[in-house]
C-alpha cells in the first residue's frame, strides 16, 4: 500500500517485493515509512503486540478509532494484494481494512 494524494493508504494493483536495501532505507526514515504499508510474516508470540489468540494492534486500533467502520462490506480493499498475508485481515476480515488505512507508524522510527 502507498499513501495517495489525499493522505489515505491505498492498495497497489499487485504485490511487489521489497529488497533488504529498500527495507533498511524505509526503516530509518520516519517520513518514508509512513508513506508505505509493508506486509511480512506475523511473528505471533515473538511480537509484543501478540495477545495469545491474535494481534492486539488491530483490537487497539478499533478502540482508538472508536470502532469507526467495523463493517465495511465490499470495498476497494476486498482485492487488496496484502490480504492473503495480512494478520489483521486473517483475524478481522474486511473490518481490518477500515483501520489499516488510518494507521501510521508514528513511533516506529
Range of the domain at 38: 2-100
Q: Give pLDDT tens digits for 46-88.
A: 988 899 889 998 888 888 776 555 545 445 565 678 887 888 8
In the predicted structure, residue 41 carries a pLDDT above the cut 50: yes
109 domain residue, yes or no? no
18 domain residue, yes or no? yes
Q: What is the pairing mode between strands 9-10 and 2-3?
A: antiparallel
Other C-beta atoms lying within 10 Å of the C-beta of residue 105: 13
106 domain residue, yes or no? no
- Given a contact cutoff of 8 angstroms between Cβ atoms, the answer to whether 18 and 1 are in contact is no
Q: How many domains does the chain have?
A: 1
What pTM value is reported for the model?
0.66
- Given a contact cutoff of 8 angstroms between Cβ atoms, the answer to whether 98 and 70 are in contact is yes
57 domain residue, yes or no? yes
Q: Give pLDDT tens digits for 8-26.
A: 778 888 888 888 898 888 8
- For 50, which DSSP code? B
108 domain residue, yes or no? no
Amino acid at each position: 500500500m502507498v499513501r495517495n494524494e489525499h493522505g489515505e493508504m491505498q492498495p497497489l494493483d499487485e504485490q511487489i517485493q521489497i529488497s533488504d536495501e529498500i527495507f533498511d532505507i524505509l526503516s530509518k526514515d520516519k517520513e518514508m515509512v509512513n508513506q508505505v504499508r509493508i506486509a511480512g510474516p506475523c511473528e505471533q508470540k515473538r511480537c509484543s503486540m501478540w495477545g495469545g489468540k491474535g494481534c492486539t494492534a488491530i483490537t487497539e486500533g478499533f478502540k482508538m478509532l472508536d470502532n469507526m467502520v467495523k463493517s465495511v462490506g465490499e470495498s476497494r480493499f476486498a482485492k487488496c494484494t496484502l490480504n492473503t498475508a495480512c494478520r489483521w485481515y486473517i483475524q478481522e476480515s474486511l473490518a481490518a481494512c477500515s483501520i489499516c488505512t488510518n494507521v501510521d507508524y508514528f513511533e516506529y522510527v
